[in-house]
Amino acid sequence: MEGYLFKKGRGDSSLGRRNWKQRWFVLDQQELSYYDDFDLNSGLPVGFKGKVNITGCEAYPVNHHDKKNTFVIIPKNDKEILFQAPDPKLMNCRCFPPLLFFL
The whole-model pTM stands at 0.78
CA 54 to chain centroid, in Å, comes to 11
d(CA 33, CA 84): 16
Residue 19: per-residue pLDDT: 87
Per-residue pLDDT tens over the stretch 15-67:
666 789 999 999 888 889 999 999 999 999 999 999 988 888 888 888 888 88
Q: Is the pLDDT of residue 76 over 90?
A: no
- Domains detected in the chain: 2-91 (2.30.29.30)
Q: Is the pLDDT of residue 99 over 70?
A: no
Q: Which residues pair with 48 in a beta bridge?
A: 35
Read off the pLDDT of each residue in 72-92 and give the average, rounded to a whole number: 79
Q: What is the bridge-based pairing of β-strands 2-8 and 44-53? A: unpaired
In the sheet that holds 20-28, the strands lie side by side as 44-53, 31-39, 20-28, 2-8, 81-84, 70-74, 58-62
Q: Are 86 and 5 in contact (CB under 8 A)?
A: yes
